Structure 1
Amino acid sequence: MMRRGDDAGYDRSLTMFSPEGRLYQVEYALEAVRRGTLVIALKSKYGATLVTRKKFTKLMDSSTIEKIFQMDEHMGCAIAGLHADSRILVDYARVQCQVHRLTYSEPVRIQTITRKLADIKQQYSQHGGVRPFGSSLLIVGVDPDGMPRITTTSPSGTYWSWRGTAMGRNSDAARETLNKELNDEMSLEELVKLGIKILKESTDEEFEDENLSIATISAEERKFELLKYDRIKAYL
Structure 2
Amino acid sequence: MMASRGYDMTPTMYSPDGRIYQVEYAIETVKRGTLAIGICSKEGVIMAVEEKPRALQTLNVTQKIFQVDYHIGVAAAGYIPDARVQVDNARFFSQGNKMTYDESVEVATVAKHLADQSHQFTQYSGVRPNGVALIIAGVDQKGESIYVTDPSGTYVQYAAVAIGSGSDDVNAFLEKHYNENMSLSDAASLAIAAINLKAEQKESLNHIKMAKVTTEKKIFEKVSESDLLNYSKNASKFPTS
Coarse TM-score class (shorter-chain normalised): over 0.9
SS of 1:169's partner is coil
1:45 to 42, 45, 53: 42
TM-score (norm 1): 0.93
Aligned to 1:62: 59
How many angstroms apart in 1 are the aligned matches of 2:77 and 2:157?
Answer: 17
1:174 to 166, 170, 174: 170
Matched, 1:223 2:211: no
Matched, 1:14 2:30: no
Matched, 1:197 2:188: no
Aligned to 2:239: none
Deviations 1:170-222 (A, max 9, x none): 10111111111111111110110111111111324446312210111111221
1:223 CA drift (Å) = 1.2
| Equivalence map 1:89-100=2 (5 Å) | 89-100=86-97
Is the alpha carbon distance of 1:35 and 1:18 closer, same or farther for their aligned partners in structure 2, counting shifts above 3 Å?
same
Judge conservation of contact 2:42–2:184 (CA < 8 Å) in 1: no
Judge conservation of contact 2:62–2:209 (CA < 8 Å) in 1: no
| Equivalence map 1:200-215=2 (5 Å) | 200-206=196-202, 208-215=204-211
Matched, 1:160 2:160: no
- Structure 1 moving runs of 4+ over 6 Å: none
1:36 to 21, 25, 33: 33
1:110 to 104, 107, 111: 107
Give unmatched runs, 5+ long, in structure 2: 233-241
1:64 CA drift (Å) = 4.3
1:49 CA drift (Å) = 0.4
Deviations 1:69-88 (A, max 9, x none): 11111110101111111000
SS of 2:5's partner is coil
Judge conservation of contact 1:170–1:202 (CA < 8 Å) in 2: yes
How many angstroms apart in 1 are the aligned matches of 2:154 and 2:117?
Answer: 11
1:129 CA drift (Å) = 0.8
The percent identity for this pair of structures is 38
Deviations 1:47-104 (A, max 9, x none): 1101112122213333444111111111101011111110000001011111111111
**Aligned-residue CA RMSD in angstroms?**
1.4
Give unmatched runs, 5+ long, in structure 1: none
Moved more, 55-64 or 171-180: 55-64
TM-score (norm 2): 0.91
Judge conservation of contact 1:170–1:203 (CA < 8 Å) in 2: no
SS of 2:19's partner is coil
Is the alpha carbon distance of 1:165 and 1:194 closer, same or farther for their aligned partners in structure 2, counting shifts above 3 Å?
same
| Equivalence map 1:77-88=2 (5 Å) | 77-88=74-85
How many angstroms apart in 2 are the aligned matches of 1:61 and 1:195?
Answer: 23
